[in-house]
Amino acid sequence: MEQGYLTLETGEVFEGVLIGAGKKSIGEVVFNTSMTGYQEIITDPSYAGQIITFCYPIIGNYGINALDDESIAPALSGVVIGDLCETPSHYQSIQKFSEKLKKFGITGIAGVDTRLLVKTIRSRGTVKGVLSTTKDVEFSGQDQEPLWVEKVSTKKIQYYKNRGPHVVLMDYGHKKSILSALLAENCAVTVVPFNTTFEKIKALNPDGVLFSNGPGDPMELKKWFPEIKKISSSYPSLGICLGHQLIALSFGAQTTKLAYGHRGGNHPVKELETGKVKITAQNHSYVVMDDSIDGQIFDITYRNVNDQSIEGLKHKVYPIQTVQFHPEAHPGPSDTEYILKEFVKRIASLGETRYAIK
């Protein structure tokens, strides 16, 4: 293995050995606190353009299987780990972790002091970093980052036949588990590109619309806010993660970037109506700002126990609900899977249910 370096734009350098593609890579350096689920994490489209630091000390011990990818190909920029296990042990394992990275051209670095790196990110805030074979890297004069949502969203409409209500899945970089959860509830699902207009959605005649997770700053999608507002005002809607932020923004709220985000499968969230605390899976940099919420339009339904940030909204007039966390989890706890089930029940019972198949 070749000696490698992770150099942060703030000047810190972390040494290790390069794994995977071994090529130079740049991205926003973030960290995830989950103890399992590394396969789902590296294939989550929401990590597009980011370098993930795994807090859990050993990665690769149960290998890679054929079932748990959340997308066809990883969109992340790189991976940082402490100990790499190259002798996985699991009956479903078909590939090593490092082989997965190499197959899709993803650069990783192992043998890094990830505790120190995470402490650095927590003190500095999220920063850009470069993975390479040298410490001498340039951060100046970089081109503007691409619209990551456009890169990970489907390019064509995809239809999944089923016998239940018809849900349109607005794809900003959806995890496979969201689609699987809808299909498990017998929904017929049409997956559409992120820039699909209200008129095209109307032509699909859905019973409900789900606005998915995805990468990047939600304000980059500002030009589509009017369409998002028309869609969510016309159909029972559920927003998850980025979808939550986009719905809030389309109704006049504002978002801000957290210092280092929420990423992991152990984030406590309080359901304000019941006072119960749910343990949730999260992956986001941005949050909806408290003072931007119009109390005449939305009720706040969930709050993060740790920092009190908004974790969910419910419209006072329209059947619109949003959550900042991932109710389908994968990886993560199943405390909030009822949210997807209730969404399906709601669209099935509202008015005259129009099914997608005869």
Which among 174, 267, 326, 330 is annotated as catalytic?
A: 326
Which among 40, 241, 284, 330 is annotated as catalytic?
A: 241
Active site residue 90: no
Render 2-46 in DSSP notation, one character per residue. Answer: -EEEEEETTS-EEEEEEEET---EEEEEEEE--SS-HHHHHT-GG
Q: Tokens 């740790």 identify what position? A: 306
Which among 150, 262, 328, 330 is annotated as catalytic?
A: 328
**ω into residue 193 within 30 of 0, thus cis?**
no
Phi-psi region of 270 (alpha: psi -120 to 50; beta: other; left: phi over 0): beta
Active site residue 311: no
Q: Which residues pair with 209 in a beta bridge?
A: 168, 237
Active site residue 326: yes
3-class secondary structure, 267? strand
98 φ, ψ to 5°? Answer: -65, -35
- DSSP-derived letter for residue 292 is G
Structure tokens at 60: 């690769």
Please count the other Cβ atoms lying within 10 Å of the Cβ belonging to residue 112. Answer: 22
Q: Which of 128, 158, 124 is nearest to 140 (CA)?
A: 128
Indicate which residues carry an active-site annotation: 241, 326, 328
